[in-house]
C-alpha cells in the first residue's frame, strides 16, 4: 500500500526495446476473443511505449496451461489478431521465445506466446527470469490483474532488466485503490456478493474492519442468513461455514460495522418471497424487491463505495434485477466508487455502466488481495527495483 515506483512518464526510453508484461488473460472461444476489456485497458501503455520509436515486446499469460505442453486453447494468437485490429498495425506473434533471430530489430510490435507455456514461469525461476530479461532494455509491468502472482514475468525479471517501471494501467489501479485504502471519506459502504463465503473470507473480514456498512448479497448471503437461523431451503450455502459466519457477524457488531442482508429474495421460479416463506425446495437466486430498495437507499448515503460480486445469478436474466439495481445505485451515487472482480466486471458491462462507476478495476484476485490489505508481490518488486 502506498507503493512508490517509477512509471513510464519522464523516462528516457527512445529507441529502446521495451518489454511489457500485460494481463491478456481474456475469454477466448473458437479462436476469437470474447471480451476485449483487458486488452483495451492495456492500449494506453502500449501506445505510450510505441511512441518511443523503439521496439515493443508484449508478454502475458492466458489461463492455466501445463508448462512445457503448449495447447492451442491457451495460445495468445487470437490476442495478436485482436491487437492488430485495435491498433491498426501489424503484430508479430512469436511462439518460440528464445529461438535465435525470433525477434528482429525491424519488428515494431511483438506479442510472445503464453508465458505459462515456459517451464519456470510460475516457479519464479531465476534462470528463466534472466533469459526473459535479455529481451528488453526496459521492463514495464502493466499487468495489474497478475500483480498478486510472484512469477518470473511479474517479479523475477525485475532483478535483471536495467530499467523497471510501472505502466499507466497498473499505476492508475494503485492510485484508485489507494483512495479507498488510505483515508477514504466516510461513510464507507462495501457491497459484496458472489457465490461463496469461503472464497472471500479474508475480504469480508478486512471490510468489516474498514467499512461503516457492509451489504451482502449473492450465494454467500445464504450462509450468513443460515447463521442467523433462517431456513434457506435448497439454496447454495456452506453449512460447514456457519460458525465462521457467526464469528463474522460478531466481529461486525464489535467493530460497529452495520451488516445488511437480504430480507426477501427471488427463487428459482422467479417469484419474490420473504425469508419466512421459503420452502425446503426453494433456491435463492437473487435479492428481492424490498431488499433492492433497502440496499439502494444505503448505497445512496455512501461517500466511498467498494463493490465486488454479483448479488444474484445475473447471467440468467430472470435473476439479474438485484445486481442491476445495485449497480445502478452505485453508478448514480456521488460517492467515489470502485468495482472489481471477474464476474462483477461482466455484470458492469452487461448493464452498460462502464463509464458511470468512478473506477473499474481490471484485477480479480489482485483487486481482492489489495482490498484485503495484502502487499502484492509484483508491486513490491517494482518498489524495490533500481534501489
Ligand atoms: P467475482 O468474479 O466478481 O469476484 P464471484 O466469482 O465471487 O464474483 O461470484 C460470481 C458468481 O456468483 C456468479 O457466477 C453468480 O451466478 C454466482 N451467484 C450469485 N448469487 C448466487 C446465488 N444466490 N446462488 C448461486 N450462485 C450465485
Ligand atoms: Mg468470479
Which one of the ligands is nearest to 342 CA?
A: 1
Residue 19: the pLDDT is: 98
Closest CA to 352 of 331, 338, 337, 321: 331
Closest-lying ligand to the alpha carbon of 218? 1
Residue with cell 418471497: 273
Q: How many alpha carbons lie under 13 Å from residue 295 in its C-beta half-sphere?
A: 35
Question: What is d(CA 198, CA 165) in angstroms, rounded to the nearest whole number?
Answer: 35
The pTM assigned to this predicted structure is: 0.91
Q: Give distance in angstroms: CA of 314 to centre of ligand 1.
A: 8
**Whether the CB of 329 sits within 6 Å of ligand 1:** no
The pLDDT of residue 386 is 53
Per-residue pLDDT at 3: 66
Report the alpha-carbon distance of residue 254 to residue 238 in Å, rounded.
Answer: 24
Q: Can 365 be counted among the known catalytic residues?
A: yes
Residue whose entry in the numeric block shows the C-alpha cell 527512445: 14
- Is 196 part of the annotated catalytic residue set? yes
Residue 387's pLDDT is 47
For the Cβ of 212 lying below 6 angstroms from any atom of ligand 1, the answer is no
Burial of 317 (0-12, 13-18, 19+ CB in 10 A): exposed
C-alpha cell at 339: 468495482
3-state SS of the chain is CCCCCCECCCCCCCCCEEEEECCCCCCEECCEECCCHHHHHHHHHHHHHHCCCCEEEEECCCCCCCCCCCCHHHCCHHHHHHHHHHHCCCCEEECCCCCCCCCCCCCCEEEECCHHHCCCCCCCCHHHHHHHHCCCCEEEECCHHHCCCCCCCCCHHHHCCCEEEECHHHHHHHHHHHHHHCCCCCCEEEEECCCCCHHHHHHHHHHHHHCCEEEECHHHHHHHHHHCCCCCCCCCCCHHHHHHHHHHHHHHHHCCCEEECCCEEEECCCCEEEHHHCCCCCCEEEECHHHHHHHHHHHHCCCEEEEECCCCCCCCHHHCHHHHHHHHHHHHCCCEEEECCHHHHHHHHHCCCCCCCCEECCCCHHHHHHHCCCCCHHHHHHHHCCC
What residues flank ion ligand 2 with Cβ within 5 A? Answer: 342-343
- Any idea which residue has 500483480 for its cell? 147
Residue by residue, pLDDT tens for the chain (387 residues) are: 456 899 999 899 999 999 999 999 999 999 999 989 899 999 999 999 999 999 999 999 999 999 999 999 999 999 999 999 999 999 999 999 999 999 999 999 999 999 999 999 999 999 999 999 999 999 999 999 999 999 999 999 999 999 999 999 999 999 999 999 899 999 999 999 999 999 999 999 999 999 999 999 999 999 999 999 999 999 999 999 999 999 999 999 999 999 999 999 999 999 999 999 999 999 999 999 999 999 999 999 999 999 999 999 999 999 999 999 999 999 999 999 999 998 999 999 999 998 899 999 998 899 999 999 999 999 999 988 654
Helix-helix angle 321-332:289-300, to 10 degrees: 20
What is residue 10's predicted lDDT score, i.e. its pLDDT?
87
Shortest-distance Cα residue to atom 5 of ligand 1: 194
Q: Which of 45, 217, 342, 363 is catalytic?
A: 342
What is the Å distance from ligand 2's center to 51 Cα? 36
> CB of 288 closer than 6 A to ligand 1?
no
C-alpha cell of 218? 449473492
342: annotated active-site residue: yes
Give the dihedral of Cα atoms 220, 226, 231, 237; nearest 10 deg: 40
Angle at 337 between CA 336 and CA 341, to 5 degrees: 155
Amino acid at each position: 500500500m502506498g507503493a512508490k515506483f517509477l512509471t513510464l512518464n519522464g523516462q528516457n526510453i527512445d529507441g529502446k526495446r521495451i518489454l511489457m508484461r500485460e494481463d491478456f488473460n481474456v475469454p477466448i472461444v473458437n479462436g476469437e476473443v470474447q471480451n476485449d476489456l483487458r486488452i483495451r485497458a492495456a492500449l494506453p501503455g502500449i501506445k505510450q511505449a510505441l511512441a518511443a520509436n523503439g521496439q515493443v515486446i508484449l508478454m502475458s499469460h492466458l489461463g492455466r496451461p501445463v508448462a512445457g505442453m503448449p495447447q492451442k486453447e491457451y495460445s495468445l494468437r487470437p490476442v495478436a489478431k485482436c491487437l492488430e485490429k485495435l491498433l491498426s498495425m501489424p503484430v508479430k506473434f512469436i511462439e518460440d521465445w528464445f529461438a535465435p533471430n525470433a525477434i528482429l530489430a525491424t519488428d515494431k510490435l511483438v506479442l510472445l506466446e503464453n508465458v505459462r507455456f515456459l517451464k519456470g514461469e510460475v516457479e519464479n525461476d531465476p534462470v528463466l527470469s534472466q533469459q526473459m530479461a535479455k529481451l528488453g532494455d526496459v521492463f514495464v509491468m502493466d499487468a495489474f490483474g497478475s500483480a498478486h502472482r510472484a512469477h518470473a514475468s511479474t517479479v523475477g525479471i525485475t532483478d535483471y532488466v536495467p530499467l523497471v517501471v510501472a505502466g499507466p494501467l497498473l499505476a492508475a489501479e494503485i492510485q484508485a485503490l489507494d483512495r479507498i485504502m488510505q483515508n477514504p471519506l466516510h461513510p464507507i459502504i462495501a457491497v459484496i456478493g458472489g457465490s461463496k463465503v469461503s472464497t472471500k473470507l479474508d475480504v469480508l473480514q478486512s471490510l468489516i474492519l474498514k467499512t461503516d456498512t457492509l451489504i451482502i448479497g449473492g450465494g454467500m448471503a445464504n450462509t450468513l442468513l443460515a447463521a442467523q437461523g433462517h431456513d434457506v431451503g435448497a439454496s447454495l450455502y456452506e453449512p460447514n461455514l456457519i460458525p465462521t459466519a457467526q464469528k463474522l457477524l460478531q466481529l461486525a457488531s464489535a467493530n460497529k460495522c452495520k451488516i445488511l442482508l437480504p430480507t426477501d429474495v427471488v427463487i428459482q421460479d422467479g417469484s419474490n418471497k420473504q425469508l419466512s416463506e421459503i420452502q425446503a425446495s426453494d433456491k435463492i437466486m437473487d435479492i428481492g424487491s424490498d431488499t433492492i430498495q433497502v440496499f439502494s437507499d444505503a448505497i445512496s448515503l455512501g461517500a466511498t463505495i467498494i463493490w465486488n460480486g454479483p448479488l444474484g445469478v445475473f447471467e440468467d436474466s430472470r435473476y439479474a434485477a438485484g445486481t442491476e439495481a445495485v449497480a445502478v445505485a452505485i453508478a448514480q451515487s456521488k460517492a467515489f466508487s470502485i468495482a472489481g472482480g471477474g464476474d462483477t466486471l461482466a455484470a458492469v458491462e452487461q448493464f452498460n455502466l462502464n463509464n458511470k462507476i468512478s473506477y473499474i478495476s481490471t484485477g480479480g484476485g489482485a483487486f481482492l488481495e489489495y482490498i484485503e490489505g495484502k502487499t502484492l508481490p509484483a508491486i513490491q518488486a517494482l518498489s524495490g527495483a533500481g534501489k
